Amino acid sequence: MAEELRLRVGSEPQWTRLVEAACREYLDIVTFPEALHDMVVGALSEACEELTRAASAAGAPQPFEAVFEREESVLTLRVIYNEAVPLNPHKAPNYEVPDSDANLEEIEVETLWLHLIKRRMDRVFFRVNGRQRELVLMKYPRIEGKSRQFWVMGLMPRLRSDLELDYPPGEENAAVPTGAILHDPKSGSVLRLSRSDAFIVRRFDGRTTFHDIYLEHSAELGPIAPAQLARIYETLEAAGMLARSGENESKWKKWFRWIIAPKLSIPRADAVVTAVHRRVRPLVNRWGFAALFLVGLSGIIPLVRNWDRFVAAAPELEKMIVSEAAWTIPVAYALMLVLVGFHELAHGVVCKHFGGRVPNMGIMWYLASFIFFCDTSAAWNFRQKSQRILVSLAGPLVTWASLGVIAWLGASSIGSPWLVVWALLAVIKAFSLAMNFNPLIKMDAYYMLMDWTGIPDLQRRSFAYVKKIFSRSAVVSGRPPSIRERRVFLIYGVLSALMSIVFFVWPLVTYLRRLAEWRASTGQLVVAALLLLIILGRLGQRAFAHMHAAAHQEHKIV
What are the 10-residue block averages of pLDDT along the chain, 558 residues in total?
Answer: 82 87 92 87 91 85 89 86 84 53 59 83 82 86 60 84 86 85 81 90 89 84 82 85 67 64 81 94 93 95 88 74 78 90 94 90 70 85 89 94 94 86 89 88 87 85 83 54 88 85 68 61 56 53 45 42
Query: Same structural domain for residues 388 and 262?
Result: yes
Cβ–Cβ under 8 Å, residues 116 and 38: no
CATH of the domain at 179: 3.90.930.60
Supply the pLDDT for residue 545.
Answer: 44
CA dist., res. 80 & res. 88, Å (int): 12
Supply the pLDDT for residue 541.
Answer: 46
Residue 464 lies in a domain: no
Query: Same structural domain for residues 211 and 267?
Result: no
Q: How far is CA 75 from the centre of its chain?
A: 29
Instruction: Of 196, 193, 190, 159, give the one whose Cα is nearest residue 176.
Output: 196
CA dist., res. 398 & res. 311, Å (int): 28
How many Cα atoms occupy the beta-carbon half-sphere of 290 within 13 Å?
3
Q: Domain ends where: 424, 455, 476?
A: 424
Supply the pLDDT for residue 319.
Answer: 74
Cβ–Cβ under 8 Å, residues 338 and 273: no
**Helix, strand, coil percentages in the chain from 3-state DSSP, rounded to 5:** 55, 15, 30
How many structural domains does the chain have? Answer: 3
Neighbours of 311 (CB within 10 A): 9
Q: Is 72 left (phi over 0), alpha (psi -120 to 50) or beta?
A: left
Residue 89 lies in a domain: yes
Residue 462 lies in a domain: no
CA dist., res. 219 & res. 102, Å (int): 30
Supply the pTM of this predicted model. 0.65
CA dist., res. 428 & res. 422, Å (int): 10
Supply the pLDDT for residue 556.
Answer: 41
Q: How far is CA 402 from the centre of its chain?
A: 32
Amino acid letter, residue 32 = F
Query: Same structural domain for residues 259 and 199?
Result: no
DSSP run (H or E) holding 316? helix 307-323
Cβ–Cβ under 8 Å, residues 553 and 128: yes
Query: Same structural domain for residues 259 and 379?
Result: yes
Neighbours of 230 (CB within 10 A): 20
Residue 503 lies in a domain: no
CATH of the domain at 52: 3.30.565.10
Query: Same structural domain for residues 113 and 192?
Result: no
CA dist., res. 516 & res. 514, Å (int): 5
Instruction: Of 410, 436, 442, give the one whose Cα is nearest residue 346.
Output: 436
Query: Same structural domain for residues 116 and 164?
Result: no
Q: Domain ends where: 227, 248, 269?
A: 248
Q: Domain ends where: 84, 118, 149?
A: 149
Query: Same structural domain for residues 97 and 176?
Result: no
Residue 369 lies in a domain: yes
CA dist., res. 1 & res. 393, Å (int): 48
CA dist., res. 100 & res. 558, Å (int): 8
Residue 278 lies in a domain: yes
Query: Same structural domain for residues 274 and 415?
Result: yes
Cβ–Cβ under 8 Å, residues 265 and 364: no
Residue 141 lies in a domain: yes
Supply the pLDDT for residue 100.
Answer: 53
Query: Same structural domain for residues 196 and 273?
Result: no
Amino acid letter, residue 355 = G
First to last CA, the chain: 27
Query: Same structural domain for residues 103 and 132?
Result: yes
CA dist., res. 34 & res. 27, Å (int): 8
Supply the pLDDT for residue 344.
Answer: 92
Supply the pLDDT for residue 111.
Answer: 76
What's the domain range around 166? 153-248
Residue 234 lies in a domain: yes
Query: Same structural domain for residues 45 and 97?
Result: yes
Query: Same structural domain for residues 346 and 236?
Result: no
How many Cα atoms occupy the beta-carbon half-sphere of 329 within 13 Å?
8
